[in-house]
Chain A
Amino acid sequence: MRKTSGTAVRISGLGVVRGSGRRRVEVIRGLDVVVPSGEVVGLLGPSGSGKTTLMRAVVGVQDNVTGLVEVLGRPAGHPSLRRRVGYVTQAPSVYADISVVENLRYFARLLGASEDDVVRSLADVDLTPLADRRVGVLSGGERSRVSLALALLASPELLVLDEPTVGLDPVLRRDLWALFRRLADRGTSLLVSSHVMDEALRCDRLLLMRDGHLLADGTLAELLARTGTADIEAAFLALVEDEHPPVGDDPHDEETGR
């Protein structure tokens, strides 16, 4: 049973264009989706499927967006959302030349968060022992946790996380997913992208993306039942083949196969 406490993100008819003139590419076209609040929603799809662009549109930093993107009842990018939405980019966006805690304190001041929030965020990502370390000397995984800690400072209602577990060891990955679960239990809505299909198991709901559009939207059980498959990888393949039959003389094949 799905908790029906409300809607975190409502998207209808989303289109995103990148580049201009002859290099103009429609990265996303005609996408409709509703992300319920208080759940961990996984955004799965291969690299290049438009996951990051979709997340950027939700956060309100993506230009050339058409259609409706409503976040927590406001248009995406609305100034009042800047405290209520936390965003973690795929590459850790942190200052490498200052310490972990200096990074946190700076963003805490911008967000109006307190020193308690700094301590809590550090503990949430398990970085308390490294607080005074300069970010530049940390490993990639540690840096991405600093990046995540910055997004937790203001206890946002919606967290948008772009591949937060890439390159982490399995123990840390498990811990982070446990953290995401705790946050959702506290009422936070999470939109988490991944290209690792097995992370689907940890999500309440899945959005499968490919080529700038949504292949499917539902719980893992629903997707497996719909496709008659045993795991998410097979379900994904089945959904793709549903759209583009692998053999046949469809004249569009050549075009879409590029």
Chain B
Amino acid sequence: MNPTSTLATAGRVLRQIRNDPRTIGILIALPCVLVGLVAWMFDGTPVLDQFGPLLVGLFPLIVMFLVTSVATLRERQSGTLERLMTTPVGKADVVVGYALAFGAIAVLQACVLAAFTVWVCGMDVAGELWVVLLVAVLDAVLGTALGLAASAVARTEFQAVQLMPVIIFPQLITCGLLMPRDAMPAALEAVSRVLPLTYGMEALQDLAAGAGFAEVRGAIGVVVLFIVGALVLGATTLRRRTP
């Protein structure tokens, strides 16, 4: 890996996105609209205070997963990935470059979404707000990392889009959002423990209930480990030689 190549790749990805203002608009506005709908639906109840932080962590993850898997698939199909693999660029430079670029967008997205949820929708977080923001950003980066790993498997756009239900939905079901994890059958609870979304959601639930950084740093650490793991997987599954 070499920092010049990694940063050059991140810069190139950001330049590509900058030239597509509609995508930026959707990336930033869509999560706000979704949270706004939920806030409107449960207006006058404490639901937003309880579940708002979870949504702030969840929507960016899903959006970034989709955007990343489609972007890397385009890179593969346009032949530019094959071209990159004939240059001295390292496989990790490509993957980490993408993660940095989308990570930067994730920071922006999470900040706008958190500000909107707190100031416009009136969410009142019992715990530390900046930790909610941190977890939201990490979840978005996790979405990107999972998207990078997943796109190594996908060969067509159809497959890439299908990977969302495969990778994201089981995590949604077992992460504790639908049912508290300690009320689940033991087998499902065990499954939830090996899936990354569980830890982000756990941290956000604790934060909604009044926790601070000290109480959730373990869960945050696990999310970071999953990010690193997914990036390593994404880099090692890239191939310089293809059939």
Could you tell me the distance between the alpha carbons of A112 and B16 in the complex, rounded to whole angstroms? 22
From B42-50, B188-196, B218-226, B235-243, give the one contacting chain A. Answer: B235-243
Q: Separation in Å of the B143 CB from the closest CB of chain A?
A: 22
Q: Which of A63, A112, A150 is B242 in contact with, Cβ under 8 Å?
A: A63
Could you tell me the distance between the alpha carbons of A94 and B82 in the complex, rounded to whole angstroms? 11
Whether the pair A102, B86 counts as a contact (CB closer than 8 A) is no
Instruction: Given A61-B242, A95-B16, A134-B19, decide whether A110 and B88 contact each other with a Cβ distance below 8 A.
Output: yes
Whether the pair B78, A95 counts as a contact (CB closer than 8 A) is yes
Whether the pair B12, A60 counts as a contact (CB closer than 8 A) is no
Whether the pair A19, B84 counts as a contact (CB closer than 8 A) is no
Whether the pair A60, B86 counts as a contact (CB closer than 8 A) is yes
Most chain B C-beta atoms within 10 Å of own C-beta, residue among A96, A106, A112:
A106
Interface: A141 (CB within 8 A): no
Q: Separation in Å of the B98 CB from the closest CB of chain A?
A: 13
A 99-137 contacts with B by CB, 8 A: 102, 106-107, 109-112, 134
Whether the pair B79, A89 counts as a contact (CB closer than 8 A) is yes
Chain B interface extent, by class? 20 to 34
Could you tell me the distance between the alpha carbons of A97 and B20 in the complex, rounded to whole angstroms? 8
Q: Which of B5, B15, B16 is A110 in contact with, Cβ under 8 Å?
A: B5
Write the chain A residue with the least CB distance to B4: A109
B 9-66 contacts with A by CB, 8 A: 9, 11-12, 15-16, 19-20
Whether the pair A98, B16 counts as a contact (CB closer than 8 A) is yes
Chain A interface extent, by class? 20 to 34
Q: Separation in Å of the B103 CB from the closest CB of chain A?
A: 19
Q: Separation in Å of the B35 CB from the closest CB of chain A?
A: 29
Instruction: Given A98-B15, A109-B8, A111-B87, decide whether A63 and B79 contact each other with a Cβ distance below 8 A.
Output: no
Q: Separation in Å of the B192 CB from the closest CB of chain A?
A: 37
Whether the pair A19, B243 counts as a contact (CB closer than 8 A) is yes
Write the chain A residue with the least CB distance to B83: A93
Whether the pair B79, A93 counts as a contact (CB closer than 8 A) is yes
Interface: A83 (CB within 8 A): yes
Whether the pair B19, A98 counts as a contact (CB closer than 8 A) is yes
Whether the pair B83, A97 counts as a contact (CB closer than 8 A) is no
Can you report 26 A-B residue pairs in the complex whose CB atoms are below 8 A from each other? A18-B243, A59-B86, A61-B85, A61-B86, A61-B242, A62-B242, A65-B241, A79-B88, A82-B86, A89-B79, A89-B83, A92-B79, A93-B78, A93-B80, A93-B82, A94-B80, A95-B78, A97-B19, A98-B12, A98-B15, A102-B12, A106-B8, A109-B8, A110-B84, A110-B88, A111-B88
